A and B are shown apart, each in its own frame.
Chain A
Amino acid sequence: MSAVTTRPRSAPRGGELVAPVRITPLTAVQHGLQLAWRSVLKIKANPEEVFGLMLQPVMFVTLFVFVFGQAMMGDWQTYRDFLMPGIIAQSVIFATMGTGFSLSQDVEKGIFDRFRSLPIARSAPLTGAILGDLVRYSITVVMVMLVGLAIGFRPEGGVGGVVVASALVLLFAFALCWMSAFVGMMARTPMAVQSFAMILLFPLTFGSSAFVSPDDMPAWLAPIAANNPVTHVVDAMRALMLGGDAAGPVAWTLFWSVVITAVFFPLAVWAYRRRT
């Protein structure tokens, strides 16, 4: 990065400089955190967005549980328990697309140019955006859980199971948000990011075990759905929340999180550097 050696120079005529002479990993982390604070401020400043974050899960949970519940599993309570882990995963996965969207917006509006003209770690705007978005994803998880609790969802895994399941889905979201960042830096406009996200995320989440077990899907679709990374995430969460053997799907989830990160982290950084 830009850790350059300084040579002695006379004091600038404008005034004193407080910015660090060199970027260390510590200052890079500080800059990332300060920019994460910016993302959090933006969430707070946008009540509509928080409202959207809340409303969508409320709608999804109630509609799915009460519209499909009986048809799917005979009674809505059984389907509710089946659905909750899936809908948490689906909401968080959709929320990851916000990362690419807001990065694209920052580039378009010239905000990144301002940051890049400052003597700060070059990675900071990217890491800051992603750290800030992890807060957003966490809010999403809590919101959906609250809706579930309100309609009587009492997971057998208890608090521990819910916390581990949430951590797992957040890890997966962290992996996905590098993909989102990559898309955000490649797309020309924020709107393009959104369209792309829709095309990708609907099949990815609906073609998984989130809403329907792959066993009940047509023969051609079942194997695809069974091997969809989202299925592993949802199965792991289900096992952790409702009981069952979690080891297999948890291992798969970790595997996919690492693979997705390994592919898209470098791509996102590359696209970020190229664009900025």
Chain B
Amino acid sequence: MTDAIRAEGLVKRFKGKTALDGVDLTAKSGAVLGVLGPNGSGKTTTVRILSTLLRPDAGHATVGGFDVVSQPHEVRRQIGLTGQYAAVDAELTGTQNLVLIARLLGFGRTDARARAKELLERFGLSDAADRPAKTYSGGMRRRLDLAASLVGRPALLYLDEPTTGLDPHSRIGLWEVVRGLVSDGVTVLLTTQYLEEADQLADDIMVLDHGRVISRGTPEELKNRAGDQVLQLRTVDPAQLPLASRIVEAVTSTPVTTDGLLVSVPVTDSGVLPETVRRLDEQGVAVAELSLRRPSLDEVFLALTGHTAEDETAGRPANEGISA
């Protein structure tokens, strides 16, 4: 298998602030690379460098064998970019948006119209084809944006947080689209803040934090490192909390974290649940809440880095989602 993207030692600073601090990355051809990280970890900066929009301050990267700095035109011929915020012309209709891109990419008039029609159909936008994009819902705008990045049938597609701000239904719809593209042989680099999304789509995941890669591997490997699930427990009587913690630690042989009256611990084997219940019962601990759930990104971070994924982009709302 060849590598579609290869980057080494990418560094990017903005006015003294280091956004990327030596990022190495490889994306296998025909596979999905998930870049997982919290706000401000450098996901967008990475995508912008790999799509020739930003020059790295140090390090180098090749896309499809072409250097992003010295051969940007060649790189652009390979890629499609769906940025974090939908970049469609609000005043133009869906068709006009896509025809414009197609014409810029060298399609003839008729071919451009046909391509636009085909993509609008594929993304369920046929009914809205002749309406200005400003009348679209956030999800529709996202789909139009994605369609725009596919006009030239790119071999490699960058998706920067494609589902942030989408409802669960649209999110699953978008996952299906990505899977379809992969089965057509497109290489995808996808950034996300959701472990679940990376888990669903990615063949390989790299975790970014403060501009550094803190972990990489298959979804399986990462989850094994972070724990598949999280067991959470709350006692009725706060005085029984230490006892409960000891019991949980004994059963899972993993140190627990306590947040107020809530005890949590990553677990890989859901078989610990009945065992925990039995022991708590034996010791007479009155349980107010006991649950197993998937770990949040914070918990993965905690497991991987020892600190939580704090938001560095102060002043920015976490879910800016789709602005015009």
Q: List residues of A whose CB falls within 8 A of some B CB.
A: 2-4, 6, 9, 12-23, 31, 34-35, 37-38, 41-42, 45-46, 109-111, 113-120, 124, 276
Q: Specify the chain B residue showing the minimal Cβ separation from A49.
A: B91
Contacts of B148 in A (CB 8 A): 114
CB of B140 closer than 8 Å to a CB of A: no
* Shortest beta-carbon distance from B112 to chain A in Å: 10
Q: Is the CB of B103 within 8 A of A117?
A: no
- Give Cα A234–Cα B103 distance, bound, in whole angstroms: 40
- Distance in angstroms between the alpha carbons of A202 and B126 in the assembled complex: 47
B65 partner residues in chain A, CB cutoff 8 A: 9
Q: How far, in Å, is B92 (CB) from chain A's closest CB?
A: 6
Using known A-B contacts A2-B72, A19-B152, determine if residue A38 contacts B53 with beta carbons closer than 8 Å. Answer: no
Are the CB atoms of B77 and A19 closer together than 8 Å?
A: yes
| Contact of B252 with A by CB under 8 A | no
Interface of B is mostly: loop
Known: A2-B72, A14-B154, A117-B76. A19 touches B85 (CB 8 A): no
A13 to B184, CA, bound (A): 8
Specify which chain B residues have a CB less than 8 angstroms from the CB of A37 in the assembled complex.
100
Give the residues in chain B near A120, CB-CB below 8 Å. 76, 104-105
| Total A-B residue contacts, Cβ distance less than 8 Å | 120
- Are B91 and A117 in touch, CB under 8 angstroms? no
Q: Is B129 an interface residue (CB 8 A)?
A: no
Give A189 Cβ to nearest chain B Cβ, in Å: 13
A111 touches B78 (CB 8 A): no
Establish whether residues B64 and A118, one from each chain, have CB atoms under 8 Å apart when the complex forms. no
At the interface, yes or no: B119 with Cβ under 8 Å from chain A? Answer: no
B287 touches A (CB below 8 Å): no
B187 at the interface (CB under 8 A from A): yes
Q: Does B96 contact A (CB under 8 A)?
A: yes
Cα distance, A116 to B155, chains bound together (Å): 17
Which B residues touch A19, using CB under 8 A? Answer: 76-77, 105-106, 152
CB pair B104 A18 closer than 8 Å: no
Measured in the bound complex, the distance between the Cα atoms of B90 and A38 in whole Å is: 12
Contact check, B64 vs A9: say whether CB atoms are below 8 A apart.
yes
Instruction: Report chain B residues within 8 Å CB of A42.
Output: 89, 91-92
